[in-house]
Homo-oligomer: A and B are copies of this chain.
């Protein structure tokens, strides 16, 4: 049987007769506090990796009914995000990251995980723990995480950090890591937290002024009084993008 005949052969058969993997969504939920990038971890209550720290996540809800095949991957990610954080649906920037499916990554059965990352505004971050009192959840500095995360979750976190570090320079994702209204210094701190090193104040302001000219941000009423001299506050104009290709 040639290679091609074999692939055709597979298609002719009812796929339900072949073993299927479990599919989960795992979430790398990030925020910025005190100029540090933090990730939300949950402590597992069951084996495997009992008491170990892991990313929040869960199974994608699938149905056999051809007319209702269950929830989409994006819906599953949104649902898990709401369930694990207690935050309302759509409160965060959410984007698909990568799909991890190495055999053996879950010792129980074959599990393929569609990983997503979410960016949470620092105002909302403190509310997270309250929403899920039953389990241990905690914000960890990405540079001070537990030595070993469950499954391949350390790899997933690293992949997420790599992604946003690359993306922050050309996409307006940092606005999901500052309050609704923010100062230039606050936005600069968010950029620095993501990059892992501070930005020059002067150069960053120049870059910010271009955003102003481009209509990406606008001045907001009032002033922020944290330093000796109060600073202008701004807000993001374009709504946070949440979605999938197409």
Contact residue among B8, B73, B155 (Cβ-Cβ distance under 8 Å from A134): B8
What band does the interface of chain A fall in when counting residues whose beta carbon is under 8 Å from B?
35 or more
A245, B110: Cβ atoms closer than 8 Å: no
Chain B residue nearest to A156 in the complex (CB)? B245
A64, B109: Cβ atoms closer than 8 Å: yes
Q: A residues 107-144 with Cβ under 8 Å of B?
A: 107-112, 114, 131-132, 134-135
| Interchain CA distance A158-B244 in the complex, whole Å | 13
Contact residue among B59, B71, B104 (Cβ-Cβ distance under 8 Å from A69): B104
Min CB–CB distance A12 → chain B (angstroms): 6
Q: A residues 152-187 with Cβ under 8 Å of B?
A: 152, 155, 158-159, 162
The stretch of A79-87, A204-212, A222-230 that contacts the partner chain: A79-87
B155, A62: Cβ atoms closer than 8 Å: no
A8, B62: Cβ atoms closer than 8 Å: no
| Interchain CA distance A45-B7 in the complex, whole Å | 12
B83, A46: Cβ atoms closer than 8 Å: no
Inter-chain contacts of A51 with B (CB < 8 A):
none
Q: A residues 31-74 with Cβ under 8 Å of B?
A: 45-46, 56, 58-60, 62-64, 66, 68-73
B103, A70: Cβ atoms closer than 8 Å: yes
B245, A66: Cβ atoms closer than 8 Å: no
Known: A23-B21, A23-B112, A155-B245. A99 touches B102 (CB 8 A): no
Can you identify 20 A-B contacts, CB atoms within 8 angstroms?
A2-B134, A3-B82, A3-B86, A4-B84, A12-B46, A16-B22, A18-B22, A19-B70, A20-B20, A21-B23, A21-B62, A60-B101, A62-B110, A70-B103, A73-B112, A96-B98, A101-B114, A152-B246, A155-B245, A159-B246
